[in-house]
Structure 1
């Protein structure tokens, strides 16, 4: 009897254990599936969050205010060079600490340079409300311009400048002085020369048109001078450009060369004054004198 009872007990025990094992396996599968699902959802949510953050950082023109800079005054600087170089110094202010200069555009219409300075500001930025000053140096493209008066307009503030001579350098210069001709330079100031009637000699003096100064030549009636391309007596030649240097020599002057012909016998004279065209001759003005005996 005991043996049969024991046998029945162990048989029940094994069956119960088997049921518990099956139930544990089923339960663990449900838990893993739920965890995997939660993990997938969390990863998907994190990915979406990252993507959304990246997209929000991309610049968009709708996120900015655009405006025009307030210009208070301008200065026009003429650099001592040839060709002449000109810079416009614009000074003004910005309305707050977040507004910046966006773009500077320069256009020329005839003898007027129109310069526009625009601004940019983020829409949602929190900024100090104090005014911020600015200064911009703006070069003008004046190479190749003819002599004359020019106007500059920067956001409604205007100024002007004058080119006293054509701001043009020819690509190449022919040899201005034929071989064997008599040449007079600054070193011959106050001296005498003798030439035959009908003969030609050349006068060379240093000149820097960018300063506004020019030699004003006066001859007695027995001497004639040839006009240059600018319809002025003589022809201006800028300094020779050094090799491998593309920019003009700032502050460097050239020379003016006159071709003078004797047309009457007797004592003649060449006199030149170095001054601005609108000024009267003064004691400080440079002078040159040459006495010419025509035989």
Structure 2
């Protein structure tokens, strides 16, 4: 009897031990899973916090992406004045609606002018993908240069011009130049002095392909001897006038009476009435 009872006791003890072991294993698994989820959640939160901090630091202060503008062509214009003035007209395009011209650096070294047109674009901005054309007029510092050939480089596009004589003004103060004067837009609102019976040239930009032209009015002591429109230089293979391209109008004006005289010009379409918003040109002329 005792043997049977002992066998039953050990049988039940083994079953209870097995059940307790299984319960402990299951319980430890649940605890580990909760700990893993908690650690995973903490890791995710930390990663998000780090990422957010990094992004904020990247945009603080309005960061920009800088580059160089794409220049398609350049035109070098020599204004007929003395000292001679030279301008570079650079044309190109910007890749999208957010990119803008940032800075134009103009450096001269020897007989070379190196011009850099840089751009800037807000970092991370959503922009319209529309190409935008631009035109920049850049004056060159040619006053005081010696006669010779000079090169111009604008973002890798090259051109050249020539100074036939030293571009140095006469140093004698108050002396009247014996050379025939050429007046341009740069002289608008200024005064000149010339001798009676002498002539000077007036050279103004004009674009008759759009209907606009200059109307000149001269006071009685000045006579308009001649006037001629000079169209812009035509590219090879193109014979028709370039619509929208500027040429110049050149007049030769003679002084016929001593005293203070005046040249007045208005830039408009001939068939339109004067509104007061038109471009005007005024030159005061002292005839001695």
TM-score normalised over the length of structure 1: 0.41
Q: Which has the higher contact order (CA 8 A, sep 6+)?
A: 1
* TM-score, normalised via structure 2 length: 0.41
